Chain A
Amino acid sequence: MPHRIEITLKDEVRDPRGERIKREIEHFLHLKVDEVRSIDVYTVDAELSGEELALAAAGPFSDPVIQHFSIDAPAAAGFDFLIEVGFRPGVTDNVGRTAAEALGYLLGRPLQAGEGVYTSVQYLISGALSQSDAERIATGLLCNTLIQRYQILDAAGFAKLGGVAPFVPKVQVEAKIEVNEVDLEVSDTELSRISRDGVLALTLDEMRIIQAHYRDPEVREKRRAMGLGAAPTDVELEALAQTWSEHCKHKIFSADVSYDDGEGNREEIRSLFKSYIQRTTADVRAALGERDYCLSVFKDNAGVIRFNDDWSLVFKVETHNSPSALDPYGGALTGIVGVNRDPFGTGMGAKLIFNTDVFCFADPFYDKELPKRLLHPRRIFEGVVEGVEHGGNKSGIPTVNGSIVFDDRFAGKPLVFCGTAGIMPAKILGAPSEEKRILPGDLIVMTGGRIGKDGIHGATFSSEELSESSPVSAVQIGDPITQKRMFDFLIRARDKGLYRFITDNGAGGLSSSIGEMSEECGGCRLDLSLAPLKYAGLAPWEILISEAQERMSLAVPPENVDAFMEMAKRFGVEATVLGTFTDSGVFHMLYGEKTVAYLPLSFMHAGLPPMQIPALWAQPVHPEPVIAAVADYTLDLTDLLSCLNICSKESVVRRYDHEVQGGSVVKPFTGVANDGPSDAAVIRPILDSFEAVVVGHGISPRYSDIDAYHMAANAVDEGLRNYVAVGGSLDLIAGLDNFCWCDPVLSERTPDGPYKMAQLVRANKALYDYCTAFSMPLISGKDSMKNDFYDGTTKISIPPTLLFSVIGKMEDARLAVTMDVKRPGDLVYLLGATADELGGSEYLAQKGFVGNNVPKVDAQAALAGYRAYHGALNAGLVASCHDLSDGGLAVAAAESAFAGGFGISLELDKVPFRGEASGKSDRALLFSESASRLLITVRPDKAKEFEAAMAGTLCCRLGEVTAKPLLAIAGLSGELVVRAELARLKEAWQAPLKDL
């Protein structure tokens, strides 16, 4: 019989969780409640004596100083409504797992198969609420019904029932292990239905290609020999759907694109990926010649570059948008622990040194109607922030850089970018660490978590738009501790040379990891029945494509397998031999003795012809904004500082550990009160050296409303200038591109596909143009192409977004520069030209306009400026430097001033202006977002040297740092157009998200 152990806080102890829920009920649901208290419930489903139960309750499950426990007796009292929230069957319950393990230590034996501990939380709410209010609190705040269940009792009902009855959310599946054949000798309509109903996300053309393969007499003959029928098994069809999914195959980036620039010029592009992204890197590397520092690009889970003679740097950025839309916490948590596995599974495996995160959300204060199934942006915000917090902090990886971008179109799908960098010895046991291989005969070993039904169809579901019927099984919750244990073990196994190849199990599960590994040696033979399961009853196809987390796949030479398994056992990590790599040319899956899939690798990986996608560009023309000039722009400036895209994100950032591992040099916040926004991060991954890694990023989706070419150009430039501002070197630098697009493929649902595809083409052209000009190789990236919501009536498409991440090196961390002004009397310089480029700016957005004059990047001028600045920085001539981006010069000056605690006085007529004089206005000079600009302060005694270092660039002195805490900007007429106390500016900047 299951037992309930309830843990309550002693009366005099404050309950921060309850207090937070109370605040959220009031803020968010606008319901008044008097008090919320919470109780932790452990449902123990195991044969235990009363004494053992009491020992567990008193020991690991409760804290005697602040808590009471009660066993099989309800502890709740003094409430109006009780809401208990627990997980649904099969959902990862990390606390339950730890509790079960703790019981094992206490009993001196692990729990038996089928025994377990399940957790839930009781919220005791006091206040004048109705049943329907309680219902709203449960479904609108406490419980995500996709993964959780809840029970509501009022005081009377609770008394009548004598408490909440024990409930064991154990997965009960009919253990009917079947492999079914799927008849493809059917009509086209039927083929489409098979794909749609099975969440295969295969197009009719793709279904026909599969149909044709199975008609091939040679194929049929080989299948017969294996005991298989003519029709594909469900295992095979699922493996193909996963392998061919947009998520895994990047069909849009590999497509043949027919691009029409709208002016009658047509271009046939064979694969955007090859034509622009790969070519960028190839061209940059060729130009670098002997100075080339790329070690492994585009072929592994992450890109690898040289750091120094002894170490290599690894970096990858991923997105986890669709799962985060459904379950923000689990989706984001899985996003971060998932991307951790990429650098860990790159080369022979890298130690992880930092995370980055960039989120795109709708306004958390959004108060209009949302389509059903879409979660409120505030809930997404809360859940994602917490998911990344737990994923990063618990894994012991500092989160050093990121941003949050707001646009209401991200209500359709939030974007959750998670990046992780790692470092590995340049050589491991004498061989370059970025290389690995598999020999036929090597054993297939899976390590880490067990397989369940979680994450089934993740790869295919994220290859479709979000809708009301998106499958719940696609959602999963990560477990950073299981993964951390596995990494602790694997990094030691790596150094002992116990494995030959390692890769991550992410989207597509074993189907993807083993499928890709099989290409290395030419085949595999794997018995799915050997895979360790969370619970019985998974069909073979489910085992194959489950995306259950925290797993790595390895190739272990037979002679090492005993040592490998013994070491795994000691570290408490599950490792299982599933089969053998071969050179048969076949992806061969068995279940026991029986063959359940027999797919030629050539068909799996090369059987798909490229898609044909039309692209037609038409330059959008927005109404030219008409805004009257004013004499004082102080109010406009404070409004800008308070807008979501510019305001302080400190309440979020402080929730991320950005200093663990001890190498923090430039932190996310800096300045006299540790609250000014840094441009980029600097860390020292090797503690007895001052060589540092610098990481920054650029993102500017708003500019896509005018031209995605310039959106991409500005993202690249912003990433680079942030990186350069703190001290990153231009001689060892790499970029990562993450495209998040709305579906650009012409179809009935997407009649504007050709325009969206043209936007994609143009963004790629910009990426090539600017990265080659900046000599910045692309080393890795990812695309997510279906960021739309469609429920049959409402369609929400995100603005096309490129996140451009920049990673590189600085030789001496002690030369790093931060953005806060340092002392009164320092001189203020502006590097780079300002133009009348308010198009797509935050300023116009505030005024309700888009405009047309989007900022255009002059790569050669930018590069010359950055090079000169880097020289000045290395010579120790720079006191502070801040990049100009959203909100332009006025915002940058305000931020630098209040971060440093000293005023700035500037004159706008000294700002170097580019373009026709008619466009030169106070407004443009203050708020234009022209690219490639840096606001720099310099000590007066170094001014001459600084100016000499900057000779030949457009770098002008605008004013000085003042002791008086005031931002004073003189307009073109000489009169002050901005005059504001720093305290007021800082308050405006900090207020909006302070309490989130």
Chain B
Amino acid sequence: MIKAKALVITGNGTNCEMEAAHACKLGGFDEARIAHLSELMSGEVSLDDYHFLNLTGGFLDGDDLGSAKAQANRLRYAAVEGSGERIVEQLLRFIEQGKLILGVCNGFQLLVKMGMLPALSGNYLQQTATLTSNVNGRFQDRWCYLKCDPASPSLYTRGIEGGVYLPIRHGEGKFLVDKPETLAAIEARHLACLKYSDREYLAPTMEFPENPNGSVNAIAGVCDQTGRIMGLMPHPEAFVHRTQHPRWTREELPEEGGGLAFFRNAAQYVKESF
């Protein structure tokens, strides 16, 4: 069997690289490399050598121009030293080769603002959705119930029954789209794989704090049509062990946290597909 290799990109304000790499390992990846963006730009590290790209949480460039905007701009224009190839070309090749990208929180914002999600037309560089300031105007750290769409093509949420409980930690998590048709297509194709919901995962909700940011249709996570690219505001890497759950001292919980499924599914997919 091949060695399943995950890459976690850090630098310029990415903060969750350590726990993302840890979750990849626990999920079954044989290697989880944390690489600074400068290592990508110098050519020391190439996306071509990996199967699973993690764009994880943080405050890229301080969210100064709006979350992840400056990094989206950087990835679009920056080139690899020597070869002159732009990072974005590496990324498109990565997608074309059927590889996996998971964007969490700031990484989700980055994917959306580059145009890689939901990418309804198959054009991965045309922005049709965004993530913007929470309705209450405040950063929030709280746990949310996320109803999972079993009909979604997302490979990451396979096997999740009902939903999953995960922390959100963001100030700009309100999902919006450019026009009603985009939203209709997202829904029709079951691309909104996770929605903020009640505790029993019965129905999506627009009520604060269950829906912490006011996302349209309570959307918390989105995938592309292939199901291999997914972004979500909640942090699956922050719940891989029961002691990370806010009520682990009072509830009977399995040893493994609900967020680990995302990484297990990714590892399994890689091992089956490459």
Residues in A with CB closer than 8 Å to B176 are 13, 65-66
Q: How far is the CA of A242 from the CA of B227 in the complex (A)?
A: 60
Which listed residue (B23, B138, B238) contacts A655, Cβ 8 A?
B138
Residues in A with CB closer than 8 Å to B66 are 63
Q: How far is the CA of A718 from the CA of B178 in the complex (A)?
A: 54
Size band of the A side of the interface? 35 or more
Q: How far is the CA of A662 from the CA of B167 in the complex (A)?
A: 11
- Give min CB distance, A310 to chain B, whole Å: 16
Given contacts A488-B10, A654-B141, A656-B141, contact A667 B246 (CB under 8 A): yes
- Give min CB distance, A400 to chain B, whole Å: 11
Does B160 count as interface, using CB distance less than 8 angstroms? no
Does B198 count as interface, using CB distance less than 8 angstroms? no
Q: Is the CB of A389 within 8 A of B139?
A: yes
Q: How far is the CA of A389 from the CA of B59 in the complex (A)?
A: 12
Q: How far is the CA of A61 from the CA of B62 in the complex (A)?
A: 14
Does A959 count as interface, using CB distance less than 8 angstroms? no
Interface size on B, residues (CB 8 A): 64
In the complex, chain A residues 49-90 whose Cβ is within 8 Å of any chain B Cβ: 59-61, 63-66
**Interface with B: A100-108, A204-212, A632-640, A903-911, which one?**
A100-108
Q: How far is the CA of A818 from the CA of B127 in the complex (A)?
A: 45
Q: Is the CB of A394 within 8 A of B142?
A: no
Given contacts A16-B137, A63-B113, A662-B18, contact A571 B13 (CB under 8 A): no
Residues in B with CB closer than 8 Å to A670 are 246-247, 249
- Give min CB distance, A870 to chain B, whole Å: 17
Residues in B with CB closer than 8 Å to A97 are 64
Does A99 count as interface, using CB distance less than 8 angstroms? yes
Q: How far is the CA of A572 from the CA of B71 in the complex (A)?
A: 14
In the complex, chain A residues 360-405 whose Cβ is within 8 Å of any chain B Cβ: 389, 393-396
- Give min CB distance, B138 to chain A, whole Å: 6
Q: Is the CB of A106 within 8 A of B77?
A: yes
Does B271 count as interface, using CB distance less than 8 angstroms? no
Residues in A with CB closer than 8 Å to B250 are 671-672, 818, 820, 822, 900
Q: How far is the CA of A657 from the CA of B168 in the complex (A)?
A: 9
Q: Is the CB of A813 within 8 A of B243?
A: yes
Residues in B with CB closer than 8 Å to A108 are 77
Residues in A with CB closer than 8 Å to B235 are 659
Does A290 count as interface, using CB distance less than 8 angstroms? no
Does A481 count as interface, using CB distance less than 8 angstroms? yes
Q: How far is the CA of A480 from the CA of B59 in the complex (A)?
A: 10
The residue in B22, B42, B62, B139 that gathers the most chain A C-beta atoms within 10 A of its C-beta is B62
Q: How far is the CA of A990 from the CA of B70 in the complex (A)?
A: 39
Does B205 count as interface, using CB distance less than 8 angstroms? no
Which listed residue (B61, B69, B72, B141) contacts A659, Cβ 8 A?
B141
Report the number of A-B residue pairs with Cβ-Cβ less than 8 Å.
185
CB-nearest residue of chain A relative to B138?
A655
Q: Is the CB of A481 within 8 A of B13?
A: yes
Does A729 count as interface, using CB distance less than 8 angstroms? no
In the complex, chain B residues 56-97 whose Cβ is within 8 Å of any chain A Cβ: 57-59, 61-66, 69-70, 72-74, 76-78
- Give min CB distance, A847 to chain B, whole Å: 35
Q: Is the CB of A816 within 8 A of B38?
A: no
In the complex, chain A residues 15-61 whose Cβ is within 8 Å of any chain B Cβ: 16-17, 19-20, 59-61
Q: Is the CB of A99 within 8 A of B64?
A: yes
Does A354 count as interface, using CB distance less than 8 angstroms? no
Residues in A with CB closer than 8 Å to B38 are 570-572
**Interface with A: B45-53, B128-136, B149-157, B187-195, which one?**
B128-136
Does A976 count as interface, using CB distance less than 8 angstroms? no
Does B270 count as interface, using CB distance less than 8 angstroms? no
In the complex, chain B residues 99-146 whose Cβ is within 8 Å of any chain A Cβ: 113, 127-130, 132-143
Residues in A with CB closer than 8 Å to B64 are 94-95, 97-99, 481
Which listed residue (B42, B59, B129, B133) contacts A16, Cβ 8 A?
B133
Q: Is the CB of B78 within 8 A of A65?
A: no
Does A943 count as interface, using CB distance less than 8 angstroms? no
CB-nearest residue of chain B relative to A396?
B15
Residues in A with CB closer than 8 Å to B238 are 659-660, 662, 664
Given contacts A95-B65, A394-B62, A659-B167, contact A105 B77 (CB under 8 A): yes
Residues in A with CB closer than 8 Å to B247 are 670-672, 674
CB-nearest residue of chain A relative to B36?
A488
In the complex, chain A residues 89-124 whose Cβ is within 8 Å of any chain B Cβ: 94-95, 97-99, 101-102, 105-106, 108
Residues in B with CB closer than 8 Å to A662 are 16, 18-19, 22-23, 237-238, 240, 244
Q: Is the CB of A655 within 8 A of B69?
A: no
Residues in A with CB closer than 8 Å to B244 are 659, 662, 664-665
- Give min CB distance, B70 to chain A, whole Å: 5
Which listed residue (B22, B59, B129, B142) contacts A688, Cβ 8 A?
B22
Q: Is the CB of A481 within 8 A of B12?
A: yes
Q: How far is the CA of A822 from the CA of B249 in the complex (A)?
A: 8
Residues in A with CB closer than 8 Å to B73 are 59-60, 102, 105-106
Q: How far is the CA of A989 from the CA of B79 in the complex (A)?
A: 55
Q: Is the CB of A480 within 8 A of B62?
A: yes
- Beyond A105-B78, A664-B244, A822-B249: 18 further Cβ-contacts under 8 Å? A17-B137, A20-B137, A65-B128, A66-B130, A105-B76, A106-B73, A393-B139, A396-B13, A479-B62, A481-B64, A656-B139, A657-B141, A659-B167, A660-B57, A661-B19, A662-B22, A662-B240, A687-B18
Q: Can you list 10 A-B pairs, Cβ within 8 angstroms, ordered by A?
A: A16-B135, A60-B70, A65-B130, A65-B178, A661-B16, A662-B23, A671-B247, A820-B249, A820-B250, A822-B249
Q: List residues of chain A with CB under 8 Å of any chain B CB.
A: 13-14, 16-17, 19-20, 59-61, 63-66, 94-95, 97-99, 101-102, 105-106, 108, 389, 393-396, 479-481, 484-485, 488, 492, 570-572, 654-667, 669-672, 674, 684, 687-688, 690, 813-814, 816-818, 820, 822, 880, 900
Q: List residues of chain B with CB under 8 Å of any chain A CB.
A: 10-16, 18-19, 22-23, 36, 38, 42, 57-59, 61-66, 69-70, 72-74, 76-78, 113, 127-130, 132-143, 167, 169, 176-178, 214, 235, 237-238, 240, 243-244, 246-247, 249-250
